[in-house]
Amino acid sequence: MSTAIVLGGASGIGAAVVRALRQQGDGVLVADHNVRGGKALVDEQLPGRAEFFDCDLATADGPALAVEAAIRFGGGKLHTLFYNAGILTAKPLAEWTLADWDRSTAVNLRGAFLAAQAAAEPLRASGRGRIIVTASTGALRGHAGMPAYHATKAGLLGLVRALADELAPGGTTVNAICPGWIDTPFNDTFWEHQTNPKEALASLVSRIPLGRQGAPLDVAGAVLFLASPAAAYITGQSLVIDGGYTAV
C-alpha cells in the first residue's frame, strides 16, 4: 500500500484524485481549509484509508504541518505528494493590492515549494517518491486581469524542473499537470461574470477539439499515471490535459 498527501484535496480535481487513489487501495491524507468538504470526502466508504487535516496552505507553516500529518498517518512513510491547491483572482491591474498578489503566490506557488521541501526526505526514503503539482494551461498563456495566476502557474513549471534535478538522485520524480477547462466550482466566478453564460460556454466548447469541458476524473487519470511505477522514467515534465484546446 502507498501513502499519499493531496494538498487542496477537498473538492474538484483534488477530490477526484483522492477517490481514485483510495479506490486502488492507497491511504490518503487530505489537507485543505475546506473542513466540511474534506471531512465528508474522507468519510466516503472506499478501500483505501483516509484522514482530513485542516490547514491554510497560504501560511508559512501550513504546508509543512500538513506533510508532517501525512507522515504520521502513513506510519512514517510517504510515497506521493500531490500539490493541487490554487486560487484565481481576476481584476484590472490598477485594482491589485499587495495582499492579493501575496495570497495568490503563497497558495499557488510557495505552498508547493514548502510542501516539497518538507516531504523530500520521506519521499526519498520510500525509494519511489512522486511529486506532482497542478499547474494549468494558464502556465502557457496569459490573460488580462490574472497576472498572479499566470505567473504562479508558469512558476510551478520552473519549480518542477529544478526539483526534478535535485531529487532525481534519490529516485523521486517531479512533474506538473496542466489542466485546461475543467468543470469544477473553481470557474464559477468566471461563468457568473459572463453576460450570457450559456453562449460563452457554447463558444468555449466549440474551440475544444474533443467537444466538451474536462471532468475532474479526466485529470485524475493523469495524476494516477504519474504516481504509478509506469511513470518511473518521467521527471521534470508537464502534461497538458485540455481536450486539445491548446493544440490547435
Report the interface residues with ligand NAI, using CB under 6 A.
8, 10-14, 32-34, 56-58, 84-87, 107, 134, 136, 179, 181-182, 184-187
* The residue to which cell 503566490 is assigned: 105
Rounded least distance, CB 54 to ligand NAI, Å = 9
Strand partners, 5: 29, 81
Rounded least distance, CB 3 to ligand NAI, Å = 20
Rounded least distance, CB 243 to ligand NAI, Å = 11
Tell me if residue 28 falls in helix, strand or coil. strand
Nearer to ligand NAI, 59 or 228 (CB): 59
CA–CA separation, 112 and 77 (whole Å) = 19
Nearer to ligand NAI, 198 or 229 (CB): 198
The active-site residue out of 83, 149, 233, 245 is: 149
CA–CA separation, 200 and 121 (whole Å) = 46
Tell me if residue 227 falls in helix, strand or coil. helix
Give the three cell numbers for residue 111: 505552498
CB 160 within 8 A of CB 190: no
CA gyration radius, the chain = 17
Rounded least distance, CB 231 to ligand NAI, Å = 19
* Amino acid (1-letter code) at residue 229: P
CA–CA separation, 15 and 47 (whole Å) = 15
Q: Is 233 a catalytic residue?
A: no
Nearer to ligand NAI, 140 or 234 (CB): 140
Nearer to ligand NAI, 58 or 174 (CB): 58
CA–CA separation, 131 and 5 (whole Å) = 10
Please list the active-site residues. Answer: 149
